[in-house]
């Protein structure tokens, strides 16, 4: 269940991150089939990392991801793996993205959230397209 505690043998955790990142030069390339494929890839990779997507919004020039993660993954490792994987696959499948020097910038935003503010962040991300 989204936002629920993770129970392991020696720990109980609730670690939710709100990530935001952008394509290189903030190009508006996250549209149409690229956006659809990016969403599929993010779900695929987060599952592999044992993370759970709580909210996701792909805008034409940035991505909002709210994700529940195990305590063994640091935020920089999550971003490194998500951005690296999606960049590699998207650039293979969509040759026009090869014209960009790289798919993503090296920077990103990461905010932490416990259970209390999870609903607030989900609403914020859901309302991005209406702005």
All structural domains of the chain = 6-129 (3.30.70.1290)
Give the count of alpha carbons within 13 A of 49, CB side only.
25
pTM assigned to the model? 0.86
pLDDT in tens, the chain (131 residues): 444 788 989 999 989 999 999 999 999 999 999 999 999 999 999 999 999 999 999 999 999 999 999 999 999 999 999 999 999 999 999 999 999 999 999 999 999 876 556 777 778 788 887 76
Q: What is the maximum alpha-carbon separation in the chain?
A: 48
Give the dihedral sign, CA 104/62/118/111.
positive
């Amino acid at each position: 269940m989204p936002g629920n505690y993770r129970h392991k043998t020696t720990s109980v955790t609730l670690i939710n991150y709100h990530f935001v990142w952008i394509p290189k030069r903030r190009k508006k390339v996250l549209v149409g089939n690229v956006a659809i494929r990016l969403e599929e890839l993010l779900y695929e990779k987060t599952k592999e990392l044992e993370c759970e997507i709580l909210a996701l919004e792909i805008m034409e020039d940035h991505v909002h991801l709210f994700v529940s993660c195990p305590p063994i993954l640091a935020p920089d490792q999550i971003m490194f793996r998500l951005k690296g994987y999606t960049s590699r696959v998207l650039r293979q499948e969509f040759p026009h993205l090869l014209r960009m020097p790289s798919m993503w910038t090296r920077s990103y935003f990461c905010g932490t959230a416990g259970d209390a503010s999870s609903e607030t962040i989900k609403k914020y991300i859901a309302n991005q397209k209406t702005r």
